[in-house]
């Protein structure tokens, strides 16, 4: 049987392959944005607003992609973004993503909306960052943070752009919900996508039982497939900077806020002792019409002080990575393409995807006349192509 990865020449190529494998509701969940998709489109379009000004006749024979993030050296400035229910779109998806990132020497953020216990992932890939959605009350928050610390997590990422549930109409139209509700339509989707049914769902059920939401709280959450149980989306509308301050007082490791688009929030993050922020609009999955992270990045870098600034949402090419770095990002995170890569070929697929974009960065550095990523600065860019 031919190796499917031979046809994967860029991150874009994984989506079509994954779409053939995944049932329609799951593909819709991963690929979809919110409402009219304005934010998702803007995320990609923002990179096209900048053109490069390369330097020539530079000896680039010894260039490298190494970088330092939160005081640690990584092999490349590209990481794996947190993605919920990854273990339903590929077998043991969270483990596959984390192990591939660890082997490649790049950061990986595990999602709090995952179906594999964080302790299992940390054992498989020590050094993985953990992204938490804060529960609805202080006691639950404290218990979750205690559990995360006990699991050996060193870098805690708090996602702060989800105070209320987003209006993801595409999920409703595609028949996706969490938990998934048994139906004739869902059964038909499984039957007509046998590779997913056998290789992911049935394999998971046989070896690990029914997946549950394992990491939203200190205790186990709802099962992924249920006719009656509703997943507990505790109201986060009351969460504020006081909750962040309370966590900072007790959390001994590195702490990052994800979902920052306003410079005032970057200032507040710095004042509350954050080590870094991730400029993000949640991949266009929360507020439609929000600013693209690349557009928001320069103002946030200006107010960041000593914090590392990172970015996600819309990154697909090595040139995207370098544009974000030129505008002040320390590194970027990629979501959907790595999810698709895991669907296509598990850990090996993710490793291939990481290698593709890392090599693009290295090649583009050569074409720009850059040997070290510390040379990347705003002078390489011109806006208004």
Task: Exactly one of 12, 212, 272, 282 is catalytic; name it.
Answer: 282
Quote the pLDDT of residue 234.
53
Tell me the pLDDT tens digit for each residue of 344-366. 999 999 999 999 999 999 999 99
Question: Counting every residue, how long is the chain?
Answer: 385
What would the DSSP string read from start to end of 173-208?
Answer: HHT--SSBPP-HHHHHHHHT-HHHIIIIIIHHHHHH
Contact assessment for residue 234 and residue 222, using Cβ atoms and an 8 Å cutoff: no
Helix pair angle (24-31, 184-191), 10° resolution: 90
The band of 230, judged by pLDDT with boundaries at 50, 70 and 90, is low
pLDDT at 227 over 90: no
Quote the pLDDT of residue 228.
56
| 282 is an active site residue | yes
Structure pTM?
Answer: 0.96
Secondary structure element (H or E) that encloses residue 157, with its range: strand 155-159
Section 209-219 average pLDDT? 92
The band of 17, judged by pLDDT with boundaries at 50, 70 and 90, is very high
Tell me the pLDDT tens digit for each residue of 128-143. 999 998 887 888 899 9
Q: How far is CA 267 from CA 10, 239, 263, 274, 347, in A?
A: 37, 18, 6, 10, 38
Highest mean pLDDT among 137-141, 210-214, 328-332: 328-332
What integer best gives the mean pLDDT of the chain?
A: 94
Quote the pLDDT of residue 134.
85
Question: What share of the chain in percent tops pLDDT 90?
Answer: 83
Section 80-86 average pLDDT? 97
Quote the pLDDT of residue 306.
87
pLDDT at 20 over 70: yes
In sequence order, what are the beta bridge partners of 72?
Answer: 69
pLDDT at 310 over 80: yes
Quote the pLDDT of residue 231.
52
Higher-pLDDT residue of 365 and 180 is 365
């Amino acid at each position: 049987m031919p190796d499917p990865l031979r046809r994967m020449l860029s991150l874009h190529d994984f989506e079509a392959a994954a779409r053939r494998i995944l049932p329609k509701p799951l593909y819709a969940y991963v690929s979809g944005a919110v409402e009219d998709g304005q934010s998702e489109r803007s995320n990609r379009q923002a990179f096209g607003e900048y053109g490069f000004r390369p330097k020539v006749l530079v000896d680039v024979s010894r260039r490298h992609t190494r970088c330092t993030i939160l005081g640690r050296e990584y092999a490349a400035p590209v990481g794996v973004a947190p993605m919920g229910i990854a273990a339903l779109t590929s077998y043991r998806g969270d483990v596959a993503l984390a192990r591939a990132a660890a082997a490649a020497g790049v950061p990986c953020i595990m999602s709090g909306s995952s179906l594999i216990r964080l302790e299992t992932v940390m054992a498989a890939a020590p050094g993985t960052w953990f992204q938490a959605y804060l529960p609805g009350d202080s006691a639950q928050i404290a218990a979750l943070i205690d559990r995360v610390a006990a699991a050996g997590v060193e870098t805690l990422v708090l996602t702060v752009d989800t105070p209320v549930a987003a209006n993801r109409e595409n999920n409703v139209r595609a028949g996706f919900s969490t938990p998934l509700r048994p139906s004739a339509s869902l059964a038909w989707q499984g039957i007509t996508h046998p590779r997913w049914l056998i290789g992911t769902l049935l394999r998971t059920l046989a070896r690990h039982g029914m997946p549950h939401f394992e990491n939203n709280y200190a205790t186990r959450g709802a099962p992924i497939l249920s006719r009656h149980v509703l997943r507990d989306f505790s109201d986060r509308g009351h969460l504020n900077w006081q909750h962040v301050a309370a966590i900072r007082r007790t959390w001994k490791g590195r702490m990052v806020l994800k979902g920052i688009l306003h410079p005032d929030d970057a200032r507040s993050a710095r004042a509350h002792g954050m080590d870094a922020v991730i400029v993000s609009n949640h991949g266009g999955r929360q507020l439609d019409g929000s600013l693209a992270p690349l557009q928001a990045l320069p103002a946030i870098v200006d107010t960041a002080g000593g914090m590392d600034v990172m970015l996600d949402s819309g990154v697909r090419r090595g040139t995207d990575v370098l544009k974000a770095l030129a505008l002040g990002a320390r590194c970027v995170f990629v979501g959907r393409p790595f999810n698709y890569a895991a669907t296509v070929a598990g850990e090996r697929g993710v490793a291939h995807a990481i290698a593709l974009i890392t090599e693009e960065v290295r090649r583009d550095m050569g074409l720009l006349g850059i040997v070290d990523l510390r040379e990347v600065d705003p002078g390489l860019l011109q806006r208004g192509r």
